[in-house]
Structures are given as structure tokens and as C-alpha cells.
Chain A
């Protein structure tokens, strides 16, 4: 029942053999070895698996790999330019917006999507945007701070 799927991941065209039931996150982690995208739940709530598909944040555990045929996918591995952290990644580091690091890739990908859609998001907007991203370590305080700073930095502000 295997079928071939092709898509662009982090700027590179990739393809692989998958079953129709293979989730996008399984394709990323197991076929492509991009293990930065994590799985933290099975009810589509924790957001550890968030990636961008055609520029929008989606939960890669709730999308089939075959549904991403032809799509542009960006994962956490595709954010930084070489050794230079993306401004949102840098802001998470600066403001201690991560502890165990497991929810972090999903948090950062979600945050980047927010910053693309809302210029200078307020604390309230950030907190609501994170409705689909669970963190058990940080209490969110520093994540919210980091996203505010990261969103500003993404606009070229410092």
C-alpha cells in the first residue's frame, strides 16, 4: 500500500515511500530524520509537532504525509541561517523561554507564525495564540516575554 510522496522541506525537494496512514510528523522524523519536530500527545492539543505548511502553522501529527504532497514545509531545523539563530530562536534563548526543550520547536514555529500575522502582538494576543501549545516547564511567563521580543526583532527592531 506504499505510495510515494514529494514535498519541499526546509527548501529542499524530498520524496519518500509512505503508507497512506503515515502522518506528516512520522515522515519528517522517521523518513527524513528531522527529529526536531516532536510528538507530545495523541489528541492534537500539545503542539510539540507544529510545523509550517505553505506558510501556516499546522500540527504535523494531525495531517497525513500524503496530504502534504507538493507542499512547502518548514520545520524547526529550517529556521536558523547556518549557525545564526532566527530572531525568534535567539529571543527564546535570551529570555529563558525553554527548559527541557521538548515543546520548544512547536512553540517557536507557532510564535513565528504569529509574528508573521500580527505585528507587535500584545501579551494577551500571544497568550491566546498559544492555546494549542502546552509547556510543562516554564509556566509560559518567559515564553510570552520571548515571543514579544522575538516578534519585534523579526521586524528588524532590536
Chain B
């Protein structure tokens, strides 16, 4: 291993530009002659559009064009496609309504785009948008999914009877019924998994540009996966061939899922820039992001766990209503199904599981993957019900978990809900976490808190997640409409420096450093001589982007495959130069050596020979040293861990203060511990945010998003939080070359359940068994008063 190889906490290469203000985010880019778009959005949750009068707006100062749904339809612009199809229990396909770029006759949520003004400045575009007269005929709206499926409610799509998109299930209901009949104890719980707004700090932005000379369209966009956008927008929306459409996702200021999807504004600026012949930039205001970025979670669930007299889990039965919002966002159907119900075994040997999921349209912003995507929802169900069962059966929650953990020697372990776990060790992570959190000393801390009038609670959550979604064929059989492989190109330059082109995308994850570390480790090239390029369809062969903690597991595996090809070719060249047989060449520490001799060639010498092939095996080996590989994963990876939260509740105000948080995670092999810790911290705070602060609240009758800005949507701040104790225990992934599992979502998956278990534990001495997220001060105070929460 060279310095800065796998396992080293290398300081990040990308930081210098971010720290000096030289990052290039989409809104930092300005193209010659650039115009600005402003999107006029529906102020109503549900309305018919009678007429849209743009005549005054078109005459307003600086205005170049105004477009409405009519213009979009006249040009045959397609709707935004959905990338995953799910079938209902009866085998019928999900209801897949159109998703127009600009509304066609009806708006279905506050924020639905209605018209676009193109003007010379942002303010002029905004000024002119106020001159557009839209005749709305408002319709009754429905906000809650559990409400939308009742009879007599407003119907959002004619094709979706009772607003149901699909009614899906997994598992064996008869076997589960049988298990419940044998149960000594049954624990039941009702759960609301609150809707969240992802809130990447960089608002979405897009610039469309058309080159009349070459006929090429370019879209700069805040995306986690530019190739996916090119595919979806090119093939389905604008009907542009890939070779004439370039999508660039430059520096992107956080995504957390919300920048996976293909959004209307991307298609709009690309289409409109060709119409008006000038580049067009659109950048969301934050209040616009709140009503136009896909949101997360929003499940209502009833779950039942059957246990024998010793606390062994016999079966789990789960019924969930998932809110999809008004339209199907790109991967929405996969989230409450294959990324949710398949995780309900968690870390346990529960032998039979049945889950049914009704996915429902409502007059709200579409819901799709948000950090964790289905897995936090599953973990929350499992870990709350396990905690509740422990309380009811008077078994220590750590003990109940240990009794049911999948044994260390049981891998590969087939769960009853489709997944096969390749490796893991839940006992060790739980041991690590309980030690680091001083679980044994909690009783004393609870007493100390009581002396100050505070209620102290401790809560545990263990979790399993499925990352690096794949293999493509399996995902395809389950409804995915894209491949789930990844691509990497390793370009070795003549003097031995390296450029890596990866189809993954870094928007905070640090790939420019960690991927360079893999190169340093495997090829012996120092990190500073390696550049990692991502986010441009004109540079990278192909890619599926970054989501679902897939980058190192899938993208890193593709990188290893490309590296292997480089080494194989290098050996051939070295064999020629060293006058040895290829089989006798060994590559180690950046040198090609004839085994058992001191004859060797440095990596740089081989690279040089490949590009200056004077003394070269030219008959059998091509010049150059540039290899591309695609990797299709063999299975998911299964990171896991144990999280412990400790809270104090102010009895008088109901305020919950997080006092301690401990995480012990198994991410497989770790490339850069510093970066991994950072990923855990960030995920934890999003999970803690869900448990204590964040909640997307819509007004039940008007459908307005009440928490439509940071004045009301509570983002976790530095002063809400303690320092964290994080650690890792490694079992290697058995089916990818690096043994990596992924770490991006873990924090957001384990934390909500750990924190809520702690809050309920704090309140338990007063007879409180359950509380809904987020545990806001008033909600806790009301629970303490024995009153029903008003909100």
C-alpha cells in the first residue's frame, strides 16, 4: 500500500476549492447571452385551469418568451417518466398517470408548475409572472394518504380508483397467521413515519443551452446522476438522441436523494433554450424548493410482532399506507416496496413476515427516496416494535435483541422477505455500542438527571440496510426500468499520472479523494497524481450516479475491474521489457517485477512505454493505457450496526435534549475513516432531525405546505446536538472485490428509532408507551399531561 491508500484518513482533495470559494455549482455558471426562467406555480392544491392569459406578461420589460402547458403539448414534449414499475397483489400494473412538464388543464399540488417566463433578468421574469392571469377553478383536495383511500374523497387521477396507485404485498400471509396462533405474546404498534423535506443546502438549478452550429443541447443541472437524466429526458421527454445531449452535473451542494430525479425544470430550460436560441438559467428560491423538490417518508403503518414465551420472534405482520404525492416521481414506487418491506427482517431471525403496502396519490408534493429511502421506515417499524415488546415482556431490550439476532455463523442468511445477507456480526456492534455508551451506567445517570428535575431515557436501535442495489437482472424482474451497474475508466497518462472517470457522482461524499486512494493503493500512484472526474456525460462513458450508498460498493468495484485490466496489460508490457514470461510478472507496490529476481519496471515506465511504443509487443498489445470497466453487482451489500441515544426531557416544557449518541457500524472495508465518520455524523443528524425536529405539515383543507420555509420547518442546528461517539466493527462484504458495504445512509436509518426509543424510555416511568415523531416540545408536554396531541 502506498501512502494515502485504502484505510488512510487522507485529507480531501476537493476541499481546497470549496474552502476558497472556487467551487463551481450550477448557479455559479453563467453562459454568454444567458436569460433567466421563472416558473409560475400553482397556489392551489387541486384546481382546474380554465385559461392562462400571458398577453400582458409577454409585453413586460425584459421578457423574451412565456410558455404554458399548451406550448409544451403543441411541441409534443413528453411527460416525466417513472423509472420503476410495481405490480399489485392481483398482478395488475400500478396506475401510472402522466406527469407533464407544465400543467395540462389541472394542477394537483401547491407548487405544480403552470407557466414559465423567460426574461433578461431574474427579477424581470418574476415581475412578469405576476402579470399572468390564470383562471383556476379550485377543487377539494386530499392530503393524508389514509384519508385519500376512504370513499367519497377527492379523486386525483381518474384511472386511480380510490386514489390507489398500487396495492402490493410480500411474504407468506398464511404462514404468518399460523405463527401468530402459536404466539405467547403479541405486540402491536401504530406508527406514523413523518414526511420530511430533504433540504440539500444548494437549491436546485438548471441551465439549458443549445448550439445551433452543432445541434447539441447542453444541460447543467444539480443532479446526482447526469447520465440517468440524459437517458430519461432525452428518450422520454424531449426526444433527443444521446449524442446530441450533454448533461453536466458540476459541483452539487448535497442531494440526499432529492437530486436523483428528473425534474420538469430540467426539461423546460433545455427545451426553451432551443426555442429562444439563448441559454436559460433557472435557480430555485428555497421556498420554491419546499414545494418542488421530491419529499421523503410519509408512511402510516400498523405492525404486529408474535413472540414465544422466551421472547423469540415467531412472525411479523405489517400493513402500510404510503403517500406518493400527486405524481409518480422517478423512483417513487420502489421506495415503499422493494426498499422497505424487504428490510423488515432487520437483524433478526424472524422466520415469517408478511407486509402489504397501499401506495396512494394525494394533493401533495411527490414523495421519493430521501437518505435511506424505505430502509429508515422499515428500521423504525422493526426497532420500535422490538423495543415495545421488550418493555411489555420485561426483558432488557439488548437481551431481547441478542436472543433474536441472526447468528454469526448463519451467513449467507436468507430472510423471508427476499434478501440474502452475505455477512454481518450484530452481536459485536451491539457490544461495542453498549460499552461506548456506558449502557451499564445509565441507571446512575437517570438518577442524576432526576435530581435536576429531568427525565432521562436511553434507546437502542440495530439496523440492517441494503445498499448498492442490484443485480440489474434481479432489479429488472422487480420492476426497475434501468440497469444498476456502474462504470469506471482509468486513464493512465504517459508519465504515469492517472485520471479516473467514474459514473458515480460526488456531492459531498468525497469521491475525488477516496477513489484516488483506491488507485494509490492498487497502482502505487500517489493520491496527488490522481484526478477523479465525474458528472459530465461528455467525459464519462456511462454511469448510474450516486444514491443508495452505492458509490464505493458498485462504482468502486467497477474501478477495481478497470484497475485489473490496467495491471493485466501492464504485465504484458513489462514481460516484454523485462524479457520474461507474463506469468512470471508480479505487480506490487507500484512495480512490475519478475518473480524471484530484482528485475523490475516502475508503473510510470510501463505507462511511458505504452504511449511511446518503440520497444513494445506491438503485435499482441495495443499501445496506450486506458481501460474501461462496467460492474454489475452480484448482490446487495448489507451494512449494519447498533445505535444508542440518550435524552433528557424537561418535564415542565416537554423539550427533549439529545445528550449522547453512540454509533457502532459495520460498513465492510473502509477506504477513508475520516470521510466515513463524516458520513455517519451527517446521516445521524438527519435521523435525529426526523425524530425531534423535522416535519412537513400541510394544511388539511387548503393543502398549503405550512412548513414551507426555515421559519417553520425545523432544521437541526449545531446547538441542538452533542458530539457523537462513532466506531466501526468490520465484516467484509463477500461478493465485491473491495469487501466494501457503503456508509452513506446508516445514520439516517438507525437514529430515528434510537432517539424515539430513548424518548419513550424517558417517559415510560409515567406510563407512556408510545409517542409519534417528531417528539416536539408540545407533543411531549401533552403526553405528560395525558392529553392527546393537537398536532
Do the two chains belong together in a single complex? yes
Question: Which residues A77-105 have CB closer than 8 A to chain B?
Answer: 77, 79-80, 85, 89, 92-94, 96, 98-105
Instruction: List residues of B (1-46) whose CB comes within 8 Å of A's CBs.
Output: 11-12, 14-25, 27-28, 30
B467 an interface residue at 8 Å Cβ cutoff? no
- A148 CB to closest chain B CB, in angstroms? 11
Within the complex, the shortest CB–CB distance from A8 to chain B, in Å, comes to 17
- Report B-chain residues with C-beta under 8 Å of the C-beta of A40: 201-203, 253, 286
Interchain CB contact under 8 A, B16 and A85: yes
Residues of A38-89 at the interface with B, using a CB-CB cut-off of 8 Å, are: 38-43, 45-46, 48, 75-77, 79-80, 85, 89
**Alpha-carbon gap, A155 to B723, bound state (A):** 24
Query: B253, A142: Cβ atoms under 8 Å?
Result: no
In the complex formed, the residue of A with least CB distance to B19 is A89
How many angstroms between the C-alpha atoms of A136 and B15 in the bound complex?
A: 17
Residues in B188-243 with C-beta less than 8 Å from chain A: 199-203
**B552, chain A: closest CB distance, angstroms:** 15
Report yes or no: B12 in contact with A93, Cβ–Cβ below 8 A.
Answer: yes
Q: Are the C-beta atoms of A135 and B201 separated by less than 8 Å?
A: yes
Q: Is A76's CB under 8 angstroms from B21's CB? A: yes
CB distance from B193 to the nearest CB of A (A): 20
Q: Write out the residue numbers on chain A whose beta carbons fall within 8 Å of the beta carbon of B677.
A: 96, 142
In contact, A142 and B718 (Cβ under 8 angstroms): no
B256 interfacial by beta-carbon distance below 8 Å: yes
| Cα–Cα distance between A136 and B683 once the two chains are bound (Å) | 9
Q: Could you say which of B130-138, B394-402, B470-478, B707-715 contacts chain A?
A: B707-715
Interface residues as binary, B666-677 with A (CB distance below 8 Å gives 1, 0 otherwise): 000000001101
CB distance from B726 to the nearest CB of A (A): 9
Q: Which residue of B lies closest to A76 (CB)?
A: B21
Selected contact of A43 from candidates B509, B684, B710, CB within 8 Å: B710
CB contacts (< 8 Å) of A137 on chain B: these are 201, 254, 508, 678, 682
Provided the pairs A131-B719, A134-B717 are in contact, do residues A46 and B684 lie with their beta carbons within 8 angstroms?
no
Give A138 to B20 CA distance when docked, in angstroms.
18
Give complex CA distance A41, B284 in Å.
Answer: 9
Asked if B721 lies at the interface with its beta carbon under 8 angstroms from chain A, I say yes
CB distance from A36 to the nearest CB of B (A): 2
Residue from B12, B507, B682 within 8 A of A138 (CB atoms): B682
B53 at interface by CB-CB < 8 Å: no
Q: How distant is A5 from chain B, measured CB to nearest CB, in Å?
A: 17
Asked if B508 contacts A99 (CB within 8 A), the reply is yes
Checking A41, A80, A105, A123 against B709 with a beta-carbon cut-off of 8 angstroms, the contacting residue is: A41
- B686's contact among A36, A136, A144, by CB below 8 Å, is which? A136
A residues within 8 A CB of B253? 38, 40, 100-103
Contacts of A45 in B (CB 8 A): 710-711
Task: Indicate whether A104 sits within 8 Å of B19 (C-beta atoms), given known contacts A127-B718, A130-B719, A140-B721.
Answer: yes
B112 → chain A, closest Cβ, in Å?
20
Chain B residues closer than 8 Å to A134, beta-carbon distance:
201, 710, 715, 717
Q: Find the residue from A29, A94, A134 having the highest chain B CB count within 10 A.
A: A134
Q: In the bound complex, what is the Cα–Cα distance between A17 and B235 (angstroms)?
A: 44
Q: Find chain B residues with CB under 8 A from A151 CB.
A: none
Q: Let me know if B645 is at the binding interface, CB within 8 A.
A: no
Closest to B509 in A: A99
B724 neighbours in A (Cβ, 8 Å): 139, 141
> In the complex, A43 Cα to B286 Cα: how many Å?
8
Query: Residue B718 contacts which of A94, A99, A100, A144 (CB distance < 8 angstroms)?
Result: A144
- The answer to whether B202 and A100 touch across the interface, beta carbons within 8 angstroms, is yes
Tell me how far the C-beta of B206 lies from the nearest C-beta in chain A, rounded to whole angstroms: 16
Question: Is there an interface contact between B15 and A42, defined as CB atoms closer than 8 Å?
Answer: no
A100 lies within 8 A of B286 (CB): no
Specify which chain A residues have a CB less than 8 angstroms from the CB of B199 in the assembled complex.
Answer: 136
Tell yes or no: A24 within 8 A of B by CB.
no
**Chain B residues positioned under 8 Å from A139 (CB to CB):** 681-685, 721, 724, 747
Q: A40-B286, A93-B11, A139-B681 are in contact. Are A98 and B719 (CB under 8 A)?
A: no
Give the chain B neighbours of A21 by CB distance below 8 A: 123
Q: Name A127's contact: one of B17, B507, B719 (CB within 8 Å).
A: B719
Which chain B residue has the least Cβ–Cβ distance from A130? B718
Tell me the smallest distance from the CB of B371 to a CB of chain A, in Å.
10
- Complex: how many Å from CA A48 to CA B710? 13
Q: Which of A42, A85, A141, A143 contacts B19 (CB 8 A)?
A: A85
If A38-B25, A43-B711 touch, does A98 touch B723 (CB 8 Å cutoff)? no
User: Is there an interface contact between B16 and A100, defined as CB atoms closer than 8 Å?
Assistant: no
Count of B interface residues, CB-CB < 8 Å:
57
Bound complex: CA A100 to CA B255 (Å): 9
**In the complex, are the beta carbons of B15 and A93 less than 8 A apart?**
yes
Would you call B682 and A37 a contact (CB within 8 A)? Answer: no
Q: Of the candidates B123, B508, B747, which one forms a contact with A100 in the assembled complex, judged by CB atoms under 8 Å apart?
A: B508
Q: Which residues of A contact B23 (CB under 8 A)?
A: 36, 101-102
A residues less than 8 Å from B123 (CB atoms): 19, 21
Q: Is A96 touching B12 in the complex (CB atoms < 8 A)?
A: yes
Would you call A42 and B21 a contact (CB within 8 A)? Answer: no
B201 touches A93 (CB 8 A): no
How far in angstroms is the closest Cβ of chain A from B23? Answer: 5
- Asked whether B681 lies within 8 Å of A138 as measured between CB atoms, the reply is yes
The chain B residue sitting closest to A125, CB to CB, is B719
Answer whether A92 and B15 are a contact pair too, CB < 8 Å, given A21-B123, A41-B709, A100-B254.
yes
Name the residue of chain B whose CB is nearest to the CB of A26: B122
Question: Once the chains bind, are A80 and B286 in contact (CB under 8 Å)?
Answer: no
Binary A-proximity of B253-285 (CB < 8 A = 1, otherwise 0): 110100000000000000000000000000001
For residue B27, which residues in chain A have a CB less than 8 angstroms away from its CB?
A: 35, 39
Closest chain A residue to B21 by CB distance? A36
CB distance from B615 to the nearest CB of A (A): 41
Contact B20 A89 (CB under 8 A): yes
CA–CA, A40 and B681, complex, Å: 21
B675–A96 touching, CB < 8 Å = yes
CA distance A76 to B19 in the complex (A): 8
The residues of A that contact B21 with a CB separation of less than 8 Å are: 34-37, 75-77, 105
B554 touches A (CB below 8 Å) = no
B25: which A residues are within 8 A, CB to CB?
35, 38, 102
The answer to whether B723 touches A99 (Cβ under 8 A) is: no
Tell me if B201 and A103 are in contact (CB < 8 A): yes
Check if A126 is an interface residue, CB within 8 A of chain B. Answer: yes
- Within the assembled complex, what's the spacing in Å between the Cα atoms of A137 and B20? 18
The answer, yes or no, to whether B368 is at the interface (CB within 8 Å) is: no
Please tell me if A9 contacts chain B, counting CB pairs below 8 Å.
no
Measured CB to CB, the nearest residue on chain B to A41 is: B286
**Complex Cα distance A108/B19, Å?**
8
- CB under 8 Å from chain A, chain B span 513-538: none
| Known contacts A99-B509, A142-B678; is-contact A93 B718 (Cβ 8 Å) | no
Interface of B toward A, CB cutoff 8 Å: 11-12, 14-25, 27-28, 30, 123, 199-203, 251-254, 256, 285-287, 507-510, 674-675, 677-679, 681-686, 709-711, 715, 717-719, 721, 723-724, 747
The 5 closest A-B pairs by CB, nearest first: A36-B21, A102-B253, A101-B18, A100-B508, A139-B681
Chain A residues within 8 Å of B, Cβ to Cβ: 19, 21, 29-30, 34-43, 45-46, 48, 75-77, 79-80, 85, 89, 92-94, 96, 98-105, 108, 123, 126-128, 130-131, 133-144
5 pairs, A vs B, C-beta closer than 8 Å? A46-B201, A80-B19, A102-B253, A135-B201, A142-B678
